[in-house]
């Protein structure tokens, strides 16, 4: 009914908000970095808080760990070995990534868990993810999609450093729409486990440059891009994490030097996650003092 005609006459809405909906201090990278380097955990008996990264293969988990390390070292590092051909290889071994800080290491560490692929024969067994939340998986454990960890793969006793203090879902902005029901089902299972353990949850939304041309051109458009906000809202609904706990980043993937704006988003996301993790550490400390 003349719909197409009237459509061509209406102005296409701008892809951009006039003002950013989240404030970002683009020129405060040094302060952010310093605050993270000097971060003191609320329990001085605990050396570090463990952050568990979970997500499908190819979402940028390894790239995020590398990007965090690169931001602190001031040069591109690839210790966590991101796969250049996505979708084919998995992180099969459970290992801890430390970030060097001069002679020492920073008070937060990462684990990258094998993909949350759909289908029973793919990805880590949700039981294994539950075990890693509880700090039970031994270092160098090899994930196997058809079996969960056996007794010999698990610790009989855990120290506070073995436990996870934040569960971070890594989701690619350009793949949110294609995420499969199976994956959400697995996430739901893990979320229930994390909630039972009172472990806070957050989302790192990667590949924002692939999703939005404005952002590809300038990362500073991250919070004025309507597309990115829409993706974050979509993530929030599907994963069940509030938008306030979703942090969009662009990971290092083809750059040869570190860049201020990429570092700012990465360090800001990290700061929020470390604070959330430390809140749990603080609660556990207070609870144990009450006993
Ligand atoms: N353009 C772009 N590519 C990314 C970003 N993060 C990761 N990648 C690429 O996405 C692919 C998968 O990343 P990877 O870290 O191996 O994912 P993992 O399987 O979750 O560990 C690699 O080709 C990365 O270079 C990003 O923020 N932007
Ligand atoms: Mg990986």
Question: CB 192: neighbour CB atoms within 10 A?
Answer: 12
Check if the beta carbon of residue 17 is closer than 8 Å to that of residue 212. Answer: no
Domains and CATH numbers, the chain: 49-290 (3.40.50.300)
Question: CB 291: neighbour CB atoms within 10 A?
Answer: 4
Position 117 scores a pLDDT of 65
Position 86 scores a pLDDT of 45
Position 140 scores a pLDDT of 87
**CA nearest to 142, candidates 66, 84, 87, 90:** 90
**CA nearest to 200, candidates 137, 242, 236, 159:** 242
253 CA from centroid of ligand 1 (Å): 7
Angle made by CA atoms 18, 23, 24, in degrees to the nearest 5: 115
120 CA from centroid of ligand 1 (Å): 24
In tens digits, what is the pLDDT along the chain, a chain of 291 residues?
A: 444 455 556 788 999 999 999 999 999 999 999 999 999 999 999 999 999 999 888 899 999 999 999 999 999 998 876 655 444 445 578 889 999 998 999 999 999 886 666 655 566 777 888 899 999 999 988 887 778 889 999 999 999 999 999 999 999 999 999 888 888 888 888 889 999 999 999 999 999 999 999 999 999 999 999 999 999 999 999 899 999 999 999 999 999 999 999 999 999 999 999 999 999 999 999 988 888
**Would you report the helix, strand and coil content of the chain in percent, each value rounded to 5?**
40, 15, 45
Ligand nearest to the backbone CA of 219: 1
Position 101 scores a pLDDT of 94
- Protein residues whose CB sits closer than 6 Å to any atom of ligand 1: 55, 57-63, 82-84, 86, 170, 206-207, 209-210, 250-251, 253
């Amino acid at each position: 009914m003349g719909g197409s005609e009237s459509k061509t006459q209406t102005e296409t809405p701008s892809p951009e908000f006039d003002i950013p909906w989240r404030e970002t201090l683009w020129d405060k990278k040094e302060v952010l970095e310093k605050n993270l380097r000097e971060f003191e955990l609320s329990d001085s008996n605990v050396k570090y808080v463990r952050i568990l990264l979970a997500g499908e293969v190819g979402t940028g988990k390894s790239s995020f760990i590398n990007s965090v390390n690169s931001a602190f070292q001031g040069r591109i590092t690839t210790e966590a070995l991101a796969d250049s051909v996505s979708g084919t290889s998995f992180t099969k071994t459970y290992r801890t990534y430390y970030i060097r800080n001069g002679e020492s290491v920073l008070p937060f560490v990462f684990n990258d868990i094998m993909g949350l692929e759909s289908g029973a024969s793919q990805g880590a067994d949700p039981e294994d993810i539950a075990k890693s939340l509880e700090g039970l998986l031994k270092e160098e454990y090899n994930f196997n999609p058809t079996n969960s960890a056996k007794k010999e793969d698990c610790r009989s006793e855990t120290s506070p450093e073995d436990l996870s203090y934040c569960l971070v879902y890594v989701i690619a902005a350009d793949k949110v729409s294609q995420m499969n029901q199976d994956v959400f089902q697995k996430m739901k299972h893990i979320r229930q486990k994390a909630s039972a353990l009172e472990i806070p949850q957050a989302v790192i939304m990667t590949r924002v440059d692939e999703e939005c041309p404005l952002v590809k051109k300038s990362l500073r458009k991250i919070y004025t891009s309507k597309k990115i906000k829409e993706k974050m809202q979509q993530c929030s609904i599907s994963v069940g994490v509030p938008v306030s706990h979703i942090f969009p980043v662009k990971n290092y993937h083809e750059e040869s030097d570190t860049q201020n704006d990429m570092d700012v988003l990465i360090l800001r996301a990290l700061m929020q996650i470390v604070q959330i993790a430390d809140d749990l550490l603080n609660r556990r400390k207070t609870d144990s003092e009450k006993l």
